[in-house]
Amino acid sequence: MTTRPPSHPILSCDDARAFEAKLFGSDEEKEWPAMQRAGRAVAEAVLRDFQEICGFPANGRILVLAGKGHNGGDALLAAAAITEKFPAAQVAVLFAFGERALRPLAARAWRELVRAAGARAGVCRESGLAGAAWDLCLDGIFGFQFRAPVPAGTAALLQRVNELSLRLRAAVDLPSGLGETTRRGDPVFRADFTYATGIAKLPVVNSAHGEWVGRLRYLDLGFFAGVESEARLRMLTPEVLAPLGRLRAPQTDKRHYGHVFILGGSRNYPGAVLMTVLAALRSGAGLVTAFVPESLAAAFAARAPEAMWVGWPETPDGGLALEGRHLLVSKFKDAAALVMGPGLGREPETLALVAELVKSSPAPLVLDADALQPDIVRAGTMGRILTPHLGELMRILEGDDFYETAVGQDAVMVVKGRLTGVVQGGKGGFYSPFGGPVLARGGSGDLLAGLIGGLLAQRRQDPVLAACRGVVWHGMAADALARARGQVAVQTTQLLDFLSPVLREL
């Protein structure tokens, strides 16, 4: 039975309007505390993300783009919260429709900013934008109530702001001008980060909108506490990792936490499978056995002695040879999960071997990298998790409709990208708002495959839950790495050192 991972619904803008109308009933006494929570949450998230570029400067300059309503109020309160933490910070507010157009709660938020910042907060004219150096821009002109088209004056303002040199561009809830019907060329605020407040709306997860949304952060404001929703698309939350941070049973041994098998590597690509094994060792799995080319086994055993390394006969070009099949098949009964693909290469003999093993495996599978071939992913009947990037996904889906096959209807797909998604049978799906450009380097996918395989092996966990848990853990560790070391001068395997801190901070 599939257990739905901890997650919140992603709603259309119309459904979000209906949900908030039901939740607050247009009662400002209920809406004001929610606006305060949103403002504080945006401020905390912005300051956390600033750590990837050495932190918010003590005397930082903030530009707030304020509209008439709730998004403007959220942005103003976020600026107020930042100035309370940074007494030398200054705020300039550009009222897109004039200060007199502010609705009551937005006007209240403006007064709150003036109270918090005093003389450090002032009004900015559009003519003064280019003459100042801004560290942060908080975009709160339009929210999900926006209806196209963007007024001509606001469109010109957005274009001008998009041309400014800024250290970090933050959109509150939705980038201004973005809606469900937005098309390329429309005037939209271009964000580095979009902070979805309370409810994630469909436009921010649309892959076509990535150039405007930037990196997505979902800020849980408690809107869905005690609320059941069967929404087809859902946003994963850190609570999916909560069981990993709890005490383990005192009366237990290594076999209780699963035995994961990993098959991969070649002389041409030796490092990938080693990274997968290192990640599996950090996943909490009790036992890890790796099947690798015999020329690599000794060196790998010295690097990671906690794993059991089995040397595999090699082809003349250094790939895994068919004649070694018995080495894995004879141990199949011990496997709780089998990971195949990292560093395999594409020799026909090696790929034929993998196809044979997929057909006969009695354990659930994680197929990654070079194992993501159309004939391999369709082989056999055992359940499987596939971990393609977009190019590999197109390769898998070419030809017949994969999701119409018996295997495809059960397969769990982890589609890596700006927002990594987890989908079973091509229906619905879960999005992870964690991770970022620090993962755009060789080996990050190998680590993810090892994590997911190790999680899948533990008590033969539900594949959807294992995939979601692995994706969130991997992404949150990447965020922690970027905040500690930056995005550039890091190595992929440094992510492993942040897996434990992520769990301890939950």
Write the DSSP symbol of residue 197.
E
| Sign of the alpha-carbon torsion through 253, 291, 324, 389 | positive
Burial of 298 (0-12, 13-18, 19+ CB in 10 A): exposed
Give the rounded percent of residues in the chain with a pLDDT score beyond 70. 99
At 34-63, the pLDDT tens digits run 999 999 999 999 999 999 999 999 999 999
At 65-97, the pLDDT tens digits run 999 999 999 999 999 999 999 999 999 999 999
CA torsion 52→54→60→65, rounded to 10°?
A: -10
Integer angstrom CA distances of residue 137 from 75, 77, 225: 10, 14, 31
- The yes-or-no verdict on residue 455 having pLDDT over 80 is yes
Q: Does domain 250-504 have CATH number 3.40.1190.20?
A: yes
- The yes-or-no verdict on residue 239 having pLDDT over 70 is yes
What is the separation, in whole angstroms, between the first and last Cα of the chain?
27
pLDDT of residue 2: 58
Q: Which amino acid is at 276?
A: T
CA–CA separation, 297 and 135 (whole Å): 51
pLDDT of residue 332: 96
Q: Could you name the CATH architecture of 7-237? A: 3-Layer(aba) Sandwich (3.40)
Is residue 174 within 8 Å of 46, Cβ to Cβ?
no
Residue ranges of the chain assigned to CATH 3.40.1190.20: 250-504
pTM: 0.96
Residue ranges of the chain assigned to CATH 3.40.50.10260: 7-237
Order across the sheet with 215-219: list the strands: 121-123, 90-95, 61-66, 134-140, 166-172, 193-197, 215-219
